[in-house]
Chain A
Amino acid sequence: MIVEVGHYALVLAFALSLVLSVIPIWGVVARDGVLMGTARPVALVMAALVAVSFVALTAAYVTSDFSVVNVVQNSHSAKPLVYKISGVWSNHEGSMLLWVLILAVFAAAVAVRGSGMPQRLLAGVLGAQGAVAAAFLAFILVTSNPFARLSPAPFEGQGLNPLLQDPGLAIHPPLLYLGYVGFSIAFSFAVGALIEGRIDAVWARFVRPWTLVAWIFLTLGISMGSYWAYYELGWGGWWFWDPVENASLMPWLAGTALLHSTVVMEKRDALKVWTILLSILTFSLSLIGTFLVRSGVLTSVHAFATDPTRGTFILAILIIFIGGSLALFAWRAPMLRQGGIFAPVSREGALVLNNLFLAASCATVFVGTLYPLALEAVTGWLDPANPAKISVGAPFFNLTFLPLAIPLLLAVPFGQSLAWKRGDLLGVAQRLVTAGVLAVLVTVAVLAVTWGGPVAAPLGIGLGAWLILGSLTEIVTRSRPAGGFFASGNLGKALSRAAGLPRSAWGTALAHAGIGLTVIGIAATAWGVERIVTMKPGETVDLGGYQVRLDGVAPRNGPDYRETVARLVVLDGSKVLGTLEPGKRIFAARNMPTSEAGLLTVGLGQVYASVAEIESDGRAGLRLYWKPLVLLIWLGSVVMALGGGLSLLDRRVRLGAPVRSRAPAAVPAE
Chain B
Amino acid sequence: MTVRAPRRLPALLLAAVLGAASLAPAFAVQPDEILADPKLEGRARQLSAELRCLVCQNQSIDDSDAPLARDLRLVVRDKLKSGASDQEVRDFLVARYGEFVLLKPSFSGKNLILWLAPFAVLLAGGALVWTNARKRAVLAGASAPLTAEEQAELDKVLRKEG
Chain B, Cβ-Cβ closest to A294: B17
* A356 and B129 form a contact (CB under 8 A): yes
Given contacts A299-B13, A357-B122, A393-B104, contact A367 B27 (CB under 8 A): no
- Name the segment of A396-404, A457-465, A477-485 touching the other chain: A396-404
* A234 and B27 form a contact (CB under 8 A): yes
| Cα–Cα distance between A594 and B104 once the two chains are bound (Å) | 30
- Name the segment of A53-61, A88-96, A102-110, A432-440 touching the other chain: A88-96
* A163 and B60 form a contact (CB under 8 A): no
Residues of B contacting A344 in the complex (Cβ-Cβ under 8 angstroms): 133
The 8 Å CB contact of B103, one of A356, A394, A594, A623, is A394
* A396 and B57 form a contact (CB under 8 A): no
| Cα–Cα distance between A91 and B11 once the two chains are bound (Å) | 9
- B67: CB under 8 A from chain A? no
- Name the segment of A15-23, A168-176, A279-287, A562-570 touching the other chain: A168-176
* B19 and A229 form a contact (CB under 8 A): yes
* B99 and A237 form a contact (CB under 8 A): no
- A196: CB under 8 A from chain B? no
* B8 and A307 form a contact (CB under 8 A): yes
- A637: CB under 8 A from chain B? no
- B9: CB under 8 A from chain A? yes
Residues of B contacting A235 in the complex (Cβ-Cβ under 8 angstroms): 26-28, 63
Interface residue range, chain A? 35 or more
Residues of A contacting B26 in the complex (Cβ-Cβ under 8 angstroms): 233-235
Interface residue range, chain B? 35 or more
- B131: CB under 8 A from chain A? no
| Cα–Cα distance between A390 and B121 once the two chains are bound (Å) | 22
* A window 381-423: CB within 8 A of B: 388-396, 399-401, 404
| Cα–Cα distance between A329 and B119 once the two chains are bound (Å) | 26
The 8 Å CB contact of A400, one of B8, B31, B115, is B115
- Name the segment of B75-83, B105-113, B146-154 touching the other chain: B105-113
Tell me the minimal C-beta distance from A340 to chain B in angstroms: 9
* A296 and B15 form a contact (CB under 8 A): no
Residues of B contacting A298 in the complex (Cβ-Cβ under 8 angstroms): 16, 57
- B158: CB under 8 A from chain A? no
- A244: CB under 8 A from chain B? yes
* B19 and A248 form a contact (CB under 8 A): yes
Tell me the minimal C-beta distance from B31 to chain A in angstroms: 5
Residues of A contacting B122 in the complex (Cβ-Cβ under 8 angstroms): 356-357, 360, 404
- A293: CB under 8 A from chain B? yes
- B18: CB under 8 A from chain A? yes
* B125 and A242 form a contact (CB under 8 A): no
Tell me the minimal C-beta distance from B140 to chain A in angstroms: 4
Residues of B contacting A363 in the complex (Cβ-Cβ under 8 angstroms): 117-118, 121
* A window 505-541: CB within 8 A of B: 532-534
Residues of B contacting A232 in the complex (Cβ-Cβ under 8 angstroms): 20, 25
The 8 Å CB contact of B10, one of A237, A303, A371, A396, is A303
* B14 and A90 form a contact (CB under 8 A): yes
* B58 and A396 form a contact (CB under 8 A): no
Tell me the minimal C-beta distance from A408 to chain B in angstroms: 11
* A533 and B31 form a contact (CB under 8 A): yes
- B84: CB under 8 A from chain A? no
* B3 and A229 form a contact (CB under 8 A): no
* A242 and B104 form a contact (CB under 8 A): no
| Cα–Cα distance between A390 and B100 once the two chains are bound (Å) | 4
- A375: CB under 8 A from chain B? yes
* A368 and B114 form a contact (CB under 8 A): yes
| Cα–Cα distance between A612 and B125 once the two chains are bound (Å) | 49
- A226: CB under 8 A from chain B? yes
| Cα–Cα distance between A401 and B119 once the two chains are bound (Å) | 10
* A173 and B18 form a contact (CB under 8 A): yes
Residues of A contacting B113 in the complex (Cβ-Cβ under 8 angstroms): 367, 371
* B60 and A371 form a contact (CB under 8 A): no
The 8 Å CB contact of A390, one of B16, B111, B119, is B111
Residues of B contacting A225 in the complex (Cβ-Cβ under 8 angstroms): 18-20
Residues of B contacting A395 in the complex (Cβ-Cβ under 8 angstroms): 49-50, 103-104
* B21 and A242 form a contact (CB under 8 A): yes
Residues of B contacting A593 in the complex (Cβ-Cβ under 8 angstroms): 25
* B10 and A341 form a contact (CB under 8 A): no
* A594 and B118 form a contact (CB under 8 A): no
* A360 and B118 form a contact (CB under 8 A): yes
* B3 and A158 form a contact (CB under 8 A): yes
Residues of A contacting B99 in the complex (Cβ-Cβ under 8 angstroms): 388-391
| Cα–Cα distance between A169 and B14 once the two chains are bound (Å) | 11
- A543: CB under 8 A from chain B? no
Tell me the minimal C-beta distance from A88 to chain B in angstroms: 13
Chain A 322-344 near chain B by CB (<8 Å), digits 1 or 0: 00000000000000001001001
- B145: CB under 8 A from chain A? no
* A window 111-139: CB within 8 A of B: none
* B117 and A164 form a contact (CB under 8 A): no
| Cα–Cα distance between A163 and B11 once the two chains are bound (Å) | 10
* B125 and A356 form a contact (CB under 8 A): yes
Chain B, Cβ-Cβ closest to A289: B17
* B101 and A391 form a contact (CB under 8 A): yes
* B27 and A612 form a contact (CB under 8 A): yes
| Cα–Cα distance between A510 and B89 once the two chains are bound (Å) | 47
- B34: CB under 8 A from chain A? yes
| Cα–Cα distance between A357 and B129 once the two chains are bound (Å) | 12
Which of B11, B20, B52, B101 has the most CB atoms of chain A within a 10 A radius of its CB? B20
10 A-B pairs in the complex with CB atoms less than 8 angstroms apart: A72-B3, A73-B5, A225-B19, A234-B27, A293-B16, A307-B8, A367-B113, A367-B117, A368-B114, A391-B103
Contacts A296-B10, A303-B10, A623-B28 aside, 18 further interface pairs with beta carbons under 8 A come to A90-B14, A161-B15, A163-B15, A163-B20, A164-B18, A225-B18, A229-B19, A235-B26, A240-B59, A244-B17, A299-B13, A341-B137, A356-B122, A357-B122, A390-B111, A391-B103, A394-B60, A621-B27
Which are the 10 A-B pairs with shortest beta-carbon distances? Answer: A393-B103, A225-B19, A395-B104, A364-B118, A595-B25, A341-B140, A360-B122, A240-B21, A234-B25, A612-B27
- Which residues of A are at the interface with B, using a C-beta cutoff of 8 A? 69, 72-73, 90-92, 95, 150, 154-156, 158, 161, 163-164, 169, 172-173, 176, 222, 225-226, 228-229, 232-235, 237, 240-245, 248, 293-294, 296, 298-299, 303, 307, 338, 341, 344, 352, 356-357, 359-361, 363-364, 367-368, 371, 375, 379, 388-396, 399-401, 404, 532-534, 593-595, 610, 612-613, 621, 623
